[in-house]
Structure 1
Amino acid sequence: MKVPVLALTMGDPAGVGPEIVVGTLAHWGLEAEACVVGDRRVLAEAERILGVSIPWKEARFPLEGNGPFLLDLANADPKTFSFGEISPVCGQASFEYVRKAVELALSGFVDALVTAPISKEALHRASVPYIGHTEMLEALTQAKEALTMFQVGDLRVFFFTRHLPLREAIARVKQETLVHFARLVFLYLRALGMENPRVAFAALNPHAGEGGLLGREEQEEIAPAVSFLRQEGYEISGPYPADSVFFFAFQGKFDAVISLYHDQGHIATKCLDFFRTVSVTLGLPFLRTSPDHGTAFDIAGRGVARFESMYEACRIAARYAPLYAPPLEDAT
Structure 2
Amino acid sequence: MPDLPIIGITMGDPASIGPEIAVKALLNKDIYDTCKPLLVGDARVFEDIIDRLGLAATINAIENVAEAQFQFGVIDVYDLKNVDMDKLEFGQISAMAGAASFEAVKTVIDLAMAGEIEATVTGPINKKSINEAGHHFAGHTEIYAHYTGTKKYAMLLVEDNIKVIHVSTHVSLRQACDLVKKERILEVVQLLHNGMKQLGETNMKIGIAGLNPHAGDSGLFGTEEAEEIEPAVEEARRLGFEVEGPVPPDTMFAKAAMGSYGGVVAMYHDQGHIPFKLSGFKWNAEKQQMDSVKGVNITMGLPIIRTSVDHGTAFEIAGKGVASPDAMVLAIESAVQLSKYKVKEKESV
Task: Provide TM-score, normalisation by structure 1.
Answer: 0.90
Structure 1 letter corresponding to 2:65: F
Structure 2 letter corresponding to 1:37: V
Partner of residue 76 from structure 1, selected from 83, 86, 90: 83
What is the SS of the residue equivalent to 1:253?
coil
Match of 1:94 in 2: 101
- Measured after TM superposition, the shift of residue 250 of structure 1 is 3.0
Partner of residue 224 from structure 1, selected from 216, 231, 236: 231
1:217-249 CA-to-partner distances (Å, cap 9, x unmatched) read 323321221112211222222111211212322
- Measured after TM superposition, the shift of residue 194 of structure 1 is 6.1
Partner of residue 148 from structure 1, selected from 131, 139, 155: 155
Tell me which of the two structures has the higher relative contact order, counting C-alpha pairs closer than 8 angstroms and 6 or more residues apart.
Answer: 1
Structure 2 letter corresponding to 1:266: H
Partner of residue 111 from structure 1, selected from 103, 111, 118: 118
What pairs with 1:252-331 in structure 2 (closer than 5 Å)? 252-274=259-281, 275-324=293-342
Compared CA separation, residues 205 and 129, structure 1 to 2 (3 A): closer
What is the SS of the residue equivalent to 1:252?
coil
1:15-45 CA-to-partner distances (Å, cap 9, x unmatched) read 1111111111123412222100111211111
1:189-226 CA-to-partner distances (Å, cap 9, x unmatched) read 44556698321101222222333333333233212211
1:66 aligns with 2:71: yes
1:249 aligns with 2:252: no
1:161 aligns with 2:168: yes
The 1-side partners of 2:56 and 2:161 are apart by: 33
What is the SS of the residue equivalent to 2:340?
coil
The 1-side partners of 2:173 and 2:201 are apart by: 32
- Measured after TM superposition, the shift of residue 58 of structure 1 is 4.6
Compared CA separation, residues 177 and 135, structure 1 to 2 (3 A): closer
Structure 1 letter corresponding to 2:19: P
1:38 aligns with 2:56: no
User: What is the alpha-carbon root mean square deviation over aligned residues?
Assistant: 2.4
Q: Tell me if the contact between 1:287 and 1:324 (Cα under 8 Å) persists in the aligned partners.
A: no
The 1-side partners of 2:85 and 2:255 are apart by: 48
1:88-135 CA-to-partner distances (Å, cap 9, x unmatched) read 221111111112211221222211111111122212222224342222
Compared CA separation, residues 237 and 133, structure 1 to 2 (3 A): same
The 1-side partners of 2:166 and 2:55 are apart by: 38
Deviates more, 1:253-262 or 1:201-210: 201-210
Match of 2:285 in 1: none
What is the SS of the residue equivalent to 2:158?
strand
Counting matched residue pairs gives 328
Structure 2 letter corresponding to 1:23: K
The 2-side partners of 1:324 and 1:294 are apart by: 29
Structure 1 letter corresponding to 2:9: L
What is the SS of the residue equivalent to 1:26?
coil
What is the SS of the residue equivalent to 2:317?
coil
Match of 1:53 in 2: 56
Q: Tell me if the contact between 1:24 and 1:311 (Cα under 8 Å) persists in the aligned partners.
A: yes
What is the SS of the residue equivalent to 2:65?
coil
- Structure 2 residue runs of 5 or longer lacking an equivalent are 282-292
The 2-side partners of 1:165 and 1:258 are apart by: 18
* Identity over aligned pairs, percent: 38
Task: Provide TM-score, normalisation by structure 2.
Answer: 0.86
Compared CA separation, residues 324 and 193, structure 1 to 2 (3 A): farther
Q: Tell me if the contact between 1:286 and 1:324 (Cα under 8 Å) persists in the aligned partners.
A: no
Q: Tell me if the contact between 1:190 and 1:196 (Cα under 8 Å) persists in the aligned partners.
A: no
The 2-side partners of 1:254 and 1:9 are apart by: 32
The 2-side partners of 1:152 and 1:312 are apart by: 9
1:271-314 CA-to-partner distances (Å, cap 9, x unmatched) read 11121021111222211111111212222112222222122211
